Structure 1
Amino acid sequence: MEMRTQSSGRCLCGTAKPAAAVQQKHNLYLVLDDWDKGYSIYRVSEEDFVVSDADADADDKNSPRQQADSPLVRIKAYQCAWFVAGHETKIFAMNPAKSSPGIPVLDTATLSMTVCPNTYSRGNHGQRPVYASVGDRFLCFSYPFVDVLGPEPAALSGAWSWTTIEHDQPFDSTSVGGYAVHPDGRTVFMSVWGYNPDVSPARIHGDRCSTYAFDMERLDWTYLGEWTLPFRGQAHYDRELDAWVGICWYKQDGAAGRVCCCDVPPDAEPRDTVPTWRLGVDVLFRPDDLHFGAKLVYKGDSNFCLVESRRRVHDDHDGRYFRDVKMTSFALKYDKLGDLRTTRRRGYASLWYQSHKGGNPADDPVAFWM
């Protein structure tokens, strides 16, 4: 295993009020590809949601549509949503323009811009990385590297640095289907779809699915078994439900458009089967021909926001692509039978914009609750 540490001599920070002087109010932040040189970040507050007692489908009038025309900030970066990540109160544009001295970072608590040093894996753009926020550390998995960013220094003269681990990562990060951070605050569980660990090199796919755990303290991997978490993308631990919650993998029977929850293993030890999991009762979105992708955002205390990207009907002509971003805010609970259900009262909001990247159905929305 080879380790490297990189740092910038100092953080380059914009002028803003001190963090202690700003009262942080949590909002939903959307990252949209609505201009040709990068991304715009929009802020959606709780007041922007219309609360309804009735379920609303993809075209319900209870979802007010507004044009996304007043971004909070714009960031120059390569046009690929894979490389925008969130950690604590910060949004990282992980794949900046080549002229950038480092990675642009927006602090949503102070609305200040910071530049942190580049990762060692920068330039390894042929694959989709996986990002994980683990306590006060930010991890970037990009085969064959794992980059770990430490806490931001309190003083401007302090060094903000990455530690890079280079060793035989057991799989290509593009193969990761679902992942979740263990409540122990040090372990990341990752399920790999269609991957055969007996085939070399590691980038080659096979017909087997497996789950691995990365220990942030020991900086090493553990093979957990030939089973997978039931999630598509990131799942979140909720203390009240005592489970990981995420969007269910579409290929599970009857799972399309639903969330599910999964028991959390007590430790990162190998096991023969997937932990017990339950499929949510309510259908929250419909992955039809207009659907591009969806992401589940965790707001805390069993409250979530489902963000869905959809193509606008009859609007993709003359080389222009228009998208609706639909947001549904809801709470989850177990009913008397132990089934996972959303509360009846939900909040709805919607934005539409012209996409400059085109209509790629493989791209999920990029959204953070901060």
Structure 2
Amino acid sequence: MSKRQRQADQNHHQCRCICGKVPEPGSRWRSKHLYIVLDDWEQGYSIHKLDADNFLAGQSEDGGEDSCAGAGLMRLLEPPAARLAHSGRAEDMFIASLGSKILVANGLSCNEQSCTLAYDTETAAMTTGPNLPGNLCGLTVAAGEKQQQKLYALSGQSGETGQTRVSFEVLSWVRCGGLSSNKIHRWFWDIDAPPPAPFCGSEETVAAYAVHPDGTTIFFSTEDKNTRRRERTYSFNAVRGEWRSHGRWVLPFLGQGYFDRELDAWVGLHRKDHRGYYVCACQVASRSGRAEPEWTTAKGKLFQEVPPERHLGATLTYMGDSKFCLVERVIHEDVEMEDASGHGCALHVTFFGLKYNRKGELEATDRRTTKSYAVPMHLHSFSHVAFWM
């Protein structure tokens, strides 16, 4: 074998990523990374990029040895991938992803000044997008046909009766011009919005949601805002623009669930104690039926054992091929702050896999890795956001 061929084979082997996929020889390959949006900057937000392969190999994000930041915590690589100055309230932040872009905007309640910024994870370029439409609720999900995915964002507007009418605003990223070779795209919010949802935003809140394996049907579970009792589950078909009611039951996870083909199930953080200490897998609901799907929780807790008042939130991110990433943020007294404007925190990042054992029980795989980072928190009402892109 020639020296050039041996080098090509070595490069091909090294391209194996955490998801277990290996690119075809000679093909273009871009490894994905974990992107975390944090309020760790006194003037705004940072987008941090973590390399999962270095993470599992016991290296820091720059490929060197782990560097400690006190109390057994490491520091995230500086400078971050991007920084965004903030204005207004943290609860008015709009953060979403579509394709290779992370979208960020200030001011859900003051959209006249809410210019959208788009950070491209493939090129590291920052571009601007259209202003936000009014009354967005902050919940977004990408759905639609594979090559033409759109971002569906829930919005609410008060009607004459005082009830909040819930509907979708739809963001598209389309090619400009008629030539197929033209690579110029532009953002726009669709003028023809889908029909309103069959539930009332002033009485019900979305507790869980997931995209069906068909890629075009989104399931939503709602609960009463006051009593938090279980209410109803609905679905929306993004191609036909149709809503359907599926009965008085709720998806078992807290927030978003992700479909994993190997498990043939939606996976999310379990709603058991509203801190999501457990991961659960739920059978995919029928698009036309009303029966509640069966679900099960994984054996053992994945979360850090800390008092509830110190736990600031957690997110689950799907990485493909039954691989997941859990990101938690907890108050950590040993993390020093430069001023008294916030809290010192620890960011716990855990990569793990899921499988069914011989007894048919869901469990995390043995290859489970956690690293902890020292990070400040400046905005008490902001929760971190994580993407695998």
Name the TM-score, length of structure 2 as normaliser: 0.74
| Aligned residue among 41, 44, 49 for 2:55 | 49
What does 1:84-95 correspond to in 2, within 5 Å? 84-95=95-106
| Aligned residue among 350, 360, 379 for 1:357 | 379
Say if 1:68 and 1:351, in contact at 8 Å, map to a contact too: no
Q: Secondary structure at the match of 2:75?
A: strand
Partner of 1:368: 387
Greater relative contact order, per chain length (Cα 8 Å cut-off, separation 6+): 1
| Aligned residue among 222, 247, 250 for 1:192 | 222
The CA distance in 1 between the partners of 2:224 and 2:357, in whole Å, is 35
**TM-superposed deviation, 1:270:** 4.3
AA of the residue aligned to 1:283: K
**TM-superposed deviation, 1:240:** 0.4
Confirm or deny that 1:72 pairs with 2:91: no
Partner of 2:6: none
Say if 1:178 and 1:232, in contact at 8 Å, map to a contact too: yes
The CA distance in 1 between the partners of 2:229 and 2:296, in whole Å, is 25
The CA distance in 1 between the partners of 2:175 and 2:72, in whole Å, is 42
| Aligned residue among 32, 38, 45 for 1:39 | 45
Shift of the 256–43 alpha-carbon distance from structure 1 to 2, 3 Å rule, reads closer
**TM-superposed deviation, 1:364:** 4.3
Higher helix share: 2
Partner of 2:188: 161
AA of the residue aligned to 1:161: F
The CA distance in 1 between the partners of 2:320 and 2:194, in whole Å, is 34
**TM-superposed deviation, 1:114:** 1.8
**TM-superposed deviation, 1:64:** 4.9
| Aligned residue among 249, 256, 261 for 2:271 | 249
Shift of the 305–207 alpha-carbon distance from structure 1 to 2, 3 Å rule, reads closer
Partner of 2:258: 236
Structure 2: tracts of 5 or more residues without a match: 1-26, 59-69, 157-165, 177-181
Say if 1:85 and 1:94, in contact at 8 Å, map to a contact too: no
Confirm or deny that 1:276 pairs with 2:306: no
Partner of 1:83: 94
Say if 1:48 and 1:349, in contact at 8 Å, map to a contact too: no
AA of the residue aligned to 1:111: A
Percent identity between the two aligned chains = 33
**TM-superposed deviation, 1:83:** 1.7
Deviation string 1:302-356 (CA, Å, 9 cap, x unpaired) is: 0111111111136589443112111000111000111111111212222222211
Larger Rg, first or second structure (1 or 2)? 2
| Aligned residue among 212, 227, 231 for 2:234 | 212
What does 1:118-157 correspond to in 2, within 5 Å? 118-121=131-134, 124=135, 128-134=137-143, 135=146, 136-143=149-156, 144-153=166-175, 155=182
RMSD: 3.1
AA of the residue aligned to 1:369: W
**TM-superposed deviation, 1:48:** 4.1
Partner of 1:14: none
The CA distance in 2 between the partners of 1:110 and 1:28, in whole Å, is 15
